Structure 1
């Protein structure tokens, strides 16, 4: 199946023409991004945390201290919303109203499952490999205490929507003659020169 079986309640209502439900697009965005915002309802109110993540097939993995409120809430079955956004450009229009951004994003709704101890070390190696391929074989593996202190949560990719905006500004016809520059300012991410520690 090439499309997610996203429930109607999680399908895009605002700008639905920009929404996509195919696996390839969502996977590509998740694989390019580095930071996910994970939102959930805590006893003190809503919380959204930026987190490093890794896609592992048809699931997303996150990890944190087993004592964190995030892990405690999610292990107890709290629902979550995970989002990843890549900003590709600033869209400069002739009117204030039509300024925008070109972006690619993924939103995942669901619940997480704590990985059993037998799967934890291999899952944590995926995070190191995400930083640099082959690095998990070069560094010290987690020790027993580190493994005990860390939980890894798997979030299945089921209720998923990808959204994307491309192109220039959508100016109104009456604004086209205004003496204001309009267009797109591209945004690119690049790795710098490594700095020794």
Structure 2
């Protein structure tokens, strides 16, 4: 499938720190692939609500899910404007002045109106996409959702067209005067997410080995 380019709008055009704006579709893909948790923002009864949740994406669509009783999802389903933010922290930037301390990161904020996924096939596909993004290999390994579980779950779809992507990389941006006269250490302390040792459920019967898709994840380092 051909991915449509990002379509800048007034709210998705970065105003502060324009030098960090990323406009290529591949930049958005990179953030979506690297992240695990997004934050869904919506105004509920006149007050802003931000909900952390897992997500998945495929082609030009971002999927999130939750309980059919969740007020945030019900509000989004009713046609309210929403935003979804994903941030990947890559490092803490230590500068020669407190003012220039910063962080290296990749972030994306997606805007739009979400739609409720009602088609049964798309709903199953969306749930598989979310599962495989967060826990690769699990959809085929474990029991699939029951009819009752599906009925209690809402899945929202949001187009990945209107999005602001911002990236910071590299060393501190110190003032020349600080570089010249100050001898304190400056640089970047990288942040990398690594997986720990799998912790088996205490109810597992003896002899159930860690499956290959979990072991492979354990050996990986997220980008």
CA-to-aligned-CA distance 1:10-39 (integer Å, 9 cap, x gap): 200001121112111101110110011111
**Aligned residue number for residue 167 of structure 1:** 170
Alpha-carbon distance between aligned partners in 2 of 1:81 and 1:52, rounded to the nearest angstrom? 14
Output the TM-score relative to the length of structure 2: 0.84
Cα distance change of structure 1 residues 89 and 6 upon mapping to structure 2, 3 Å threshold: same
**Aligned residue number for residue 142 of structure 1:** 145
Deviates more, 1:172-181 or 1:109-118: 172-181
Instruction: Provide structure 2 residue ranges, at least 5 long, that are not aligned to the other structure.
Output: 202-223
Alpha-carbon distance between aligned partners in 1 of 2:111 and 2:152, rounded to the nearest angstrom? 26
TM-align CA RMSD: 1.4
Alpha-carbon distance between aligned partners in 2 of 1:76 and 1:27, rounded to the nearest angstrom? 28
Instruction: Provide structure 1 residue ranges, at least 5 long, that are not aligned to the other structure.
Output: none
**Aligned residue number for residue 221 of structure 2:** none
Structure 2 SS opposite 1:170: coil
Q: Structure 1 residue 116: deviation in Å?
A: 1.0
1:191 matched to 2:208? The reply is no
Alpha-carbon distance between aligned partners in 2 of 1:143 and 1:188, rounded to the nearest angstrom? 37
Alpha-carbon distance between aligned partners in 1 of 2:170 and 2:109, rounded to the nearest angstrom? 22
CA-to-aligned-CA distance 1:71-128 (integer Å, 9 cap, x gap): 1100001101111011111110111111000111011011100001412122212222
Deviates more, 1:127-136 or 1:153-162: 127-136
Alpha-carbon distance between aligned partners in 2 of 1:171 and 1:6, rounded to the nearest angstrom? 31
Alpha-carbon distance between aligned partners in 2 of 1:131 and 1:163, rounded to the nearest angstrom? 23
* Count, aligned residues: 197
Deviates more, 1:160-169 or 1:118-127: 118-127
**Aligned residue number for residue 156 of structure 1:** 159
Q: Structure 1 residue 191: deviation in Å?
A: 1.1
Q: Structure 1 residue 2: deviation in Å?
A: 6.3
**Aligned residue number for residue 71 of structure 1:** 73
Structure 1 SS opposite 2:195: coil
Q: Given that residues 68 and 154 in structure 2 are in contact (C-alpha distance below 8 angstroms), is that contact kept between their aligned partners in structure 1?
A: yes
Alpha-carbon distance between aligned partners in 1 of 2:66 and 2:199, rounded to the nearest angstrom? 26
Q: Structure 1 residue 44: deviation in Å?
A: 4.8
Alpha-carbon distance between aligned partners in 2 of 1:64 and 1:135, rounded to the nearest angstrom? 19
Q: Structure 1 residue 57: deviation in Å?
A: 1.2
Q: Given that residues 21 and 160 in structure 1 are in contact (C-alpha distance below 8 angstroms), is that contact kept between their aligned partners in structure 2?
A: no
**Aligned residue number for residue 204 of structure 2:** none
Output the TM-score relative to the length of structure 1: 0.95
Q: Structure 1 residue 131: deviation in Å?
A: 3.1
After TM superposition, the structure 1 = structure 2 runs for residues 1-197 of structure 1, keeping only pairs within 5 Å, are 3-118=5-120, 119-176=122-179, 177-197=181-201
Q: Given that residues 55 and 61 in structure 1 are in contact (C-alpha distance below 8 angstroms), is that contact kept between their aligned partners in structure 2?
A: yes
- Give structure 1 regions of 4+ aligned residues with deviation exceeding 3 angstroms: none
